[in-house]
Amino acid sequence: MTGGQVGALITGAVLVFWMVGAYNRLVALRNAIGGAWAQVEEQLQRRRQALEAMVGALRPVLQEEPTALDALVGALLQVQAAADAVRARPVSASLVTVLVTAEQVLGNALARLLALLEHHPQLRDEMPEVAQGLQALQDAEPRLAFARQLFNDAAQAYNDAARQFPTRLLTQLYGFGTAGRL
């Protein structure tokens, strides 16, 4: 072998090792997003259970305000559908955007329900399910915020790695997308 052939062989080997290493790093970062998503999903599930219990307890009492409860239930279903879609593809920025929008709809519906409870303070005092649901919501929000931050940190690390040159060439070649943030 000539010196040029050896140099070409070494260059090719270095290129292959770099490609394998960069690909594996992107896969590991993508998997970290999936792991972080599992924590977000667990907190979303806890919040949903608390809200469903509250709606079940309040439905017979707030018969004059069925639209507020129906809006909350509809928003919960919307969040659940979006969360299921994100579970299938946690790196998809468009699916995460749909979830963020559904979360905003849920926030508006929840604000409306909380305003109703302000007008009917006896419901919190007389109905332990409502008081427990409100406490569960209060407890869930910091946990959900922490899980979202972990997800966002994992997404940022993945996006940073995917945007760096020359790894960016691999992201285009193998179809690694951009991760969304909550």
- For residues 151 and 41, is the Cβ–Cβ distance under 8 A? no
In CATH, the number for domain 11-174 is 1.20.1440.20
Is residue 65 pLDDT above 90, yes or no?
Answer: no
Specify the pTM: 0.88
Quote the CA–CA distance of 154 and 20 in Å, as a whole number. 21
Question: Which one-letter DSSP state was computed for residue 164?
Answer: S
Is residue 121 pLDDT above 90, yes or no?
Answer: no
- For residues 65 and 116, is the Cβ–Cβ distance under 8 A? yes
Quote the CA–CA distance of 4 and 122 in Å, as a whole number. 86
**148 CB-near residues (< 8 Å, 6+ apart):** 40, 182
Please give the residue that has the higher pLDDT: either 47 or 62.
Answer: 47
- For residues 177 and 33, is the Cβ–Cβ distance under 8 A? no
Give the pLDDT mean for 17-34. Answer: 94
pLDDT digits (tens, 9 = 90+) for 139-156: 999 999 999 999 999 999
Give the pLDDT mean for 72-87. Answer: 96
b/e map 81-113, b = 16+ CB within 10 Å: ebbebbeeebbbeebbebbeebbebbeebbebb
Find the range with the poorest average confidence among 76-90, 93-107, 122-136, 155-169.
122-136
